[in-house]
Amino acid sequence: MSGQAGRLILAATPMGDAGDASRRLRDALGSAEVIAAEDTRRTRALAKSLEVEISGRVVSFYDHVEAARIPQLLTEIEAGHTVLLVTDAGMPSVSDPGYRMVAACVERDLPVTCLPGPSAVTTALALSGLPMERFCFDGFAPRKSGQRKQWLRTLITEPRAVVFFEAPHRLADCLADAVEVLGPARRAAVCRELTKTYEEVVRGPLAELAAWAADGARGEITVVLEGAQPVSADPANLVDEVEDLVADGMRLKDACARVASATGASRRELYDAVLSARTAAQR
């Protein structure tokens, strides 16, 4: 066993254009004793395109084998070896395998570092043309319409830009649901095939984007949704937003607190306004 501790390296890989590969990634591909790859064939193809000769052992590291692979990789690191973790494209752990391996290394106090690089999230934000001083990332949108609408309702008053991934065959339905829940005027950007030959960014109100997507879309999709604009803090104008959250299972007090926080309305006045509206509806 080596007397020197090994380490885990998380490395971002190009999303499409191999020219985005960093020098540090090239060096790591050629020197790491073990390369844990989401798709071993794609990793070997990337190395070939970069004219890098892989000298270490390449093992698969995708969702279904991740848990079983971790003990083996920990043993390699403890033996003083460098384990390079790469996914098909972009940064490991971001909607891709990786975070469990990082957590396991942290638990054992093993060194972990990262080679920064391409990311669909930040690339889409930069290209969106939308305000993005504050943003959140929501992974993949829910697949089923009912769950998707419930998720979209949580974004009604979200003031930050929201980035999420969507499969091309579900994009039209997702945007149609977004129009229904968030309204036709909320702005968004659909980013398709980022950094690749047929890169395309379509920007506009949700209604326009839904009409565009109805004809079908191909490739890898990243969507950026504009943050909610401040609305009138008049509690009477916010009752429907509170009731939507309650309909999704949130307690009335919690729903009032969320909407009040996003709009600046008085929580107490908003709660009273909801009760008054309910009483009026029963008459």
Q: Whole-model pTM?
A: 0.78
pLDDT digits (tens, 9 = 90+) for 47-106: 999 999 999 999 999 999 999 999 999 999 999 999 999 999 999 998 888 999 999 999
Residue 94 sits in the same domain as residue 133: no
| Residue 109 in tokens | 């106090």
Mean pLDDT, the chain, rounded, equals 94
Mean pLDDT to the nearest integer, 28-57: 97
Domain stops at, among 81, 98, 118: 118
Check residue 135 and give its pLDDT: 97
Same-domain status, 246 and 257: yes
In a domain, 126, yes or no: yes
DSSP code per residue over 139-201? EEPPSSHHHHHHHHHTTTT--SEEEEEE-GGGHHHHHHHHHHHH-TT-EEEEEESTTSTT-EE
Tell me, yes or no, whether 81 lies in a domain: yes
pLDDT digits (tens, 9 = 90+) for 97-148: 899 999 999 999 999 999 999 999 999 999 999 999 999 999 999 999 999 9
- Determine contact, residues 217/193, Cβ cutoff 8 Å: no
* pLDDT confidence band for 232 (50 / 70 / 90): low
Domain, as residue range, for 186: 121-225
2 found inside a domain = no
Which one-letter DSSP state was computed for residue 1?
Answer: -
Number of domains in the chain: 3
1 domain residue, yes or no: no
Tens-digit pLDDT profile for residues 158-196: 999 999 999 999 999 999 999 999 999 999 999 999 999
Residue 276 in this model has a pLDDT that exceeds 90: yes
